[in-house]
Amino acid sequence: MKDVNSNALADAHRWKHLARWHGEGFFVLKTEDTADVPVRLFLTQTLLESAEDILYRQIVNATRFPGVKMVVITPDVHYGYGVPVGCVLITDYESGAVAMGPVGYDIGCGMMSAKSEVPVEAATPEKRLQFNRAVMQRIEMGAGGKSQRLRDLSENEFNNLVRGGAEYYVAQYGATFDRSRAERHRIPVDDDWEVPVGGKGKPERGRQQLGSLGGGNHFIELQREVNSGELFVQVHTGSRGFGHGLATNYFESARVERHEIKDIDLGYFTADSKHYRDYLNAVAAGGNYAILNRLIIFEQVAEVFRETFNADLELIYEISHNLVQKEWHPEIGDVWVHRKGATRAFPAGYPLLRGTMWESTGHPILIPGSNKDFSYILRPLPGAVKSGFSVNHGAGRRMSRSQAARTLSQRKIDDEYAEAGILVNTDGHVPIDESAQCYKSSEEVVKAVLDAGLAEIQHQLWPVSSLKGTEEGPRWRKKKPRQSSRTSSEHF
């Protein structure tokens, strides 16, 4: 991979002017720096104009990996690890790179959505407080949160779970969810692969965290469906300390193996690499952990919902982002698809949906907004082929955490949420770096998806109550402020 730095970029000062509207819902970016690699920007004109200029360097980074076939930028794009968050990197399956920055630190992070027949009128202020309080008693939040459901796992049992995924969990523990509603039941892990315990990352800390939410932009949200007025629930979380630890250790391995890589976030492996299969196994294990984490949280939230509203939650879908997986593209063939802050969008008839309940319809896509904005459930359309069968995974940040802390008024934000009738946690105190002002308009972001014909709206959802981890209070460990977002997988 050629090193990219600011001095080496010929078109950094005019890249937005070089983006040409294709006419099918995206811009084509072809510059001296991107060479012959197709780069497609699925942005509205407004989103392009407001995009951070520093993104160009990261877009160029994505084009420089060995065997890259296409780079797709989704409408929630913002600055990330080596490549942008909101980036899809497609590389050749046989000779291309398996890249680490385009997966990130929170391997398998993703979404879960469920629905009910309970009208929003049942979510009185008292019921919303009861729901939030009971969820917080069952599910620990924040960076230091531990498992309430699976305590004291042995090393052997933990290995069974991260290898066997939802299949093993259901067989061993029973479950109240329908695992056919999960995007993947289990991602295969080679028998001879071992979790790289210890090291800089210490992935073994994840043994105590299955069924906990985490911090950053992870959330549990009670929502109303805009048209029906019925209550829905969405959850966003990932692989916790396990995935972060795996990623950290393999980033270090890539740095040692490829001395020419100056930026650790641009680490990668190719088929001839010593760590190629090991890293793919780590992604699979981290993905299995994240899937289980969401499904275990769903079970606990469903228990609370039943106690609060005397009704059941029905799982709609569970879906991952932050993965690299083998897929097929009709214009390219077999490929590695890396989705960093992007989610897959397979329409009806896509080969990997054969034999599933989504074969004739396409699977649901879960796209959250901020906790004072709309969230969406979409259905992929055949036009998703243009974006490598991918769309955005959320609204995308427009303000950094440090900027939010410097410029936003805590009291004003708390008052705005109270006036909107959105209860955050139990005290109405909104994490300021996760407030709505920090995020792009979800309507504008989803408009880019609709205009490009990638998907259509099934449900539009508005928050009723929101649960977010903080670093305060008896359930969370206090930590010194981090100097770099790279140190925490839970911020993206």
Task: State residue 322 phi and psi, 5-degree precision.
Answer: 60, 55
Task: State residue 190 phi and psi, 5-degree precision.
Answer: -60, 140
Q: Is 91 helix (H, G, I), strand (E, B) or coil?
A: strand
CA distance 406 to 378: 35
Could you tell me if 422 and 465 are in contact, meaning their C-beta atoms sit under 8 angstroms apart? yes
CA distance 9 to 189: 40
Catalytic residue among 244, 363, 393, 459: 393
Structure tokens at 459: 């449900």
Q: Active site includes 429? A: no
* CB count in 10 Å sphere of residue 5: 9
Nearest of 57, 283, 293 to residue 169 by alpha carbon: 293
Nearest of 245, 264, 226 to residue 61 by alpha carbon: 264
Could you tell me if 185 and 179 are in contact, meaning their C-beta atoms sit under 8 angstroms apart? yes
- DSSP summary character for residue 463: E
Q: Between the CA of residue 376 and those of 81, 208, 402, 449, 485, what are the distances in Å? A: 26, 32, 28, 12, 27
* Angle of CA points 365, 138, 411, to nearest 5°: 75
Q: Between the CA of residue 453 and those of 108, 285, 424, 444, 457, what are the distances in Å? A: 26, 34, 35, 15, 11
Active site amino acids = 393
